[in-house]
Structure 1
Amino acid sequence: MVEGYREMQLKDEAIDELLASGEYADNLRLFRNATFHFQKDPFSPKVLKFLQANESEIWVRELNRAFKKFFEKELPIENLAAEMGLIDSKSSG
């Protein structure tokens, strides 16, 4: 998601601030690569570097929340869900 956000040159103050913490973002990229591409060692340095980084769990939770708010603001998610019958159309505003 981070790579797509950057490639599309999207802007959001909260996301941009979190991604400016370069070490976390770089470590998350390595973690993702190690997770989705075969590694002989399931606990490779790529995985451990992110997991062992001080407060990485807090940073990634905040990043997740920031993306959630961004998508809720930018995409008509509730309207689409109502059209698909996934939620009551009255609750979508």
Structure 2
Amino acid sequence: MNANKVDKAATKVGVGDTLTFPQGSQIRVVEIAACGARRGPAPEAQALYLDKTPPQEPKARSPGADRVGGRPTKKDRRSLDLSRDRGLE
């Protein structure tokens, strides 16, 4: 909070405080704009803070990254069988 490490989750925060925390694989930077009077829906809560997280460049994906694991297709199995047969000769 405000460039100081906080040990307790119950630390009091107020308007103008800046919070830096990890969320998933990115680091979020949020400034508190107002305090909520009640617990409400997400759009109402999003209006209470300013997101100052710097934009991250999208990670480059390899062409085969969409299909990770799982059962090989019939074509893949045939090519595997052929490569195994050729390796034994």
Q: Flag whether TM exceeds 0.5 (same fold).
A: no
TM-score by length of 2: 0.23
Higher strand share: 2
Higher helix share: 1
Q: Which has the higher contact order (CA 8 A, sep 6+)?
A: 1
Structure possessing the higher radius of gyration over alpha carbons: 2
TM-score by length of 1: 0.23
